[in-house]
Amino acid sequence: MVENHPAVSRVREVFRENSLPFTMRVFEEGTHTAVAAAEALGVELGQIASSIVFKLIVDGEDVPLLVITSGQHKVDTAKVAQYLGVEKLHRADAEFVRNASGFAIGGVAPVGWTHKPRAIIDTALQQFLTIWAAAGHPYTVFQTSYAELQTLAEAEPLDVGQN
């Protein structure tokens, strides 16, 4: 069952370790995109916290960067690169994402990673009382708040949206 999938269990464990309630929804069909998740939940697109993985090259090594962005816009990669003091953000392929996070694309959760990434959270998510994020599987999402997610993901706040 999806609820007991190892990746979902890792996400649930983060909440348990922090003594927080874990509210998860399971869907009959995958919610691989923010649009699909918002439609399935009946919420605004902006309430979907998408976990976008980029690759940074640091001292010749590929290092994961997690950008938790509001579903209402795309990540301005030039703005994020400037904030980080790097030339550019590199695209991460499915294999890199799985190796870095332990999640498959479409179900990448912002917490419960197998290797802790540097994380940035989109300040646009602050405007919503409730936000939803992938819970480790394309058929699952969990409910949270901006403050809770920022703390759990140890994410740096930044307006990451394109102007």
3-class SS string, 87-137: CCCEECCHHHHHHHHCCCCCCCCCCCCCCCCEEEEEHHHHHCCCEEEECCC
Tokens of 141: 């999402």
CATH classification number, 2-148, choose in 3.90.960.10, 3.30.1300.10, 3.40.50.10490, 3.30.565.10: 3.90.960.10
- What is the model's pLDDT at position 155? 98
Positions in the chain short of pLDDT 50: none
Note the pLDDT of residue 106.
84
Degrees, nearest 5: CA angle 104-106-107: 65
Residues sharing a CB contact under 8 Å with residue 21, sequence separation 6 or more, in sequence order: 15
Give the global pTM. Answer: 0.93
Contact (CB, 8 A) for 143 and 23: yes
pLDDT per position as a tens digit, 86-110: 999 999 999 999 999 999 988 899 9
- What pLDDT is attached to residue 163? 60
pLDDT value of position 6: 86
Distance CA 1, CA 64 (A): 29
